[in-house]
Amino acid sequence: MREAVKIEDCPEDIEALWAGDGSQLPDWFVSALRVPREEGYVEIDGAKAHYFRWGDRAKPKILMTHGFLSHARCFAFIAPFLADDYDVVAFDLAGMGDSEMRGQADPLARGREFAEIADAIGMFANGDKPTIIAHSFGSGAALTAVSQSPETFAGVVICDLMVMRPPLLEAYWTLRRASPGSGDPDKAKSRYSSYDAARSRYVLSPPQPVGEAFLLDYMAYHSMQRDGEGWTWKFSPEVFRRSNRPDEWLTTGERLVNAPGRKAIVHGEESQLFNRDSAEYVRELGGGDIPIIAVPHARHHLMLDQPLAFVTALRSVLHLWGEQPPATHAAI
């Protein structure tokens, strides 16, 4: 099943948060949301999967997804800057955003989601191989996807995935900071009397200020839904029903280096989860040919800190890959 609606303008994305004509918002943001896009659902294993799509169907394919408990709109103001040169899809992982939960939340099931959504919306129709761009938790799932189906994807851009040397990661956890994919299932059942009450509980993980505060409001609004007279979170409690074993994260560096195909890393220069030592660690593990780009003045949620610099980093990787044969990596 495929249901889709063509959206020539997106006033609901703007006016839901800011009354009036949105003139207090940056021109680049308003213009990005007005780039024509398709919004739709496809049915996969009896559950609806939600996506956005921009650009020309005849051009190279890009498949984007988000971090844990987030949603595809984290790329809604990023993807339009790629739409002139690519066919871009951003999708909600199962049980998050506007996608229904399906199957299991284990890592193997998460990896399969990339091929499932791409196949369902016809991205493989002409033998095309999408390039994956994924953030944080979604990047870990993307590594699983390319490992499961090495011939299916053209490459993967890993955006601020948590990669640390095991001793540093264990020290990080002793500070009671949660690993990606962890959390309380009961939070998904929380109900708030007003939007403001719900908004006050929306926080980033790991905690950080953001460079563009209005983008945090935008992400928060689309993380919630009305429930009668109140508000609830969109994500399903089922997303927490996974093992989330420590070894899954202690070996992330090895998984990244050993994953097949072209890879690049884009991270916030001030990120807690991927820093200069993380880059050195990747090199030591054998990833010397993997391009690593640090976005200045950005933390883990780099699209909320430095969205236009993030766009520039992605454009650079994609452009260089377009000029290089798949068996090589461009040095950046």
Domain assignment present for residue 213? The answer is no
- CB 127, CB 154: distance < 8 Å: no
Residue 255, pLDDT > 80, answer yes
For tokens 């506007």, the residue is: 98
Residue 108 makes CB contacts below 8 A (sequence gap 6+) with: 144, 148
* Residue 246: pLDDT band with limits 50, 70, 90: low
Residue 118, pLDDT > 90, answer yes
Domain assignment present for residue 28? The answer is yes
Residue 163 makes CB contacts below 8 A (sequence gap 6+) with: 252, 253, 256, 273, 274, 278, 281, 282
* Residue 20: pLDDT band with limits 50, 70, 90: very low
Domain assignment present for residue 230? The answer is no
**Structural domain boundaries enclosing 70:** 2-182+246-323
Predicted confidence at residue 330, as pLDDT, reads 38
**pTM (two decimals):** 0.91
Residue 181, pLDDT > 50, answer yes
Domain assignment present for residue 125? The answer is yes
Domain assignment present for residue 50? The answer is yes
Per-residue pLDDT tens for 259-284? Answer: 999 999 999 999 999 999 999 999 99
Domain assignment present for residue 268? The answer is yes
Q: 145 phi and psi, to 5 degrees?
A: -60, -45
Residue 301 belongs to domain with CATH number: 3.40.50.1820
Per-residue pLDDT tens for 43-97? Answer: 999 999 999 999 999 999 999 999 999 999 999 999 999 999 999 999 999 999 9
Tokens of 172: 């990080």
Domain assignment present for residue 198? The answer is no
Q: Is 290 exposed, middle or buried (0-12, 13-18, 19+ CB in 10 A)?
A: buried
For residues 286 and 309, give the distance between their C-alpha atoms in angstroms, rounded to a whole number. 28
For tokens 């508000």, the residue is: 231
Domain assignment present for residue 227? The answer is no
Which helix (H) or strand (E) covers residue 255, if one does?
helix 252-258
Number of independent structural domains in the chain: 1
Average pLDDT, the chain: 89
Per-residue pLDDT tens for 136-159? Answer: 999 999 999 999 999 999 999 999
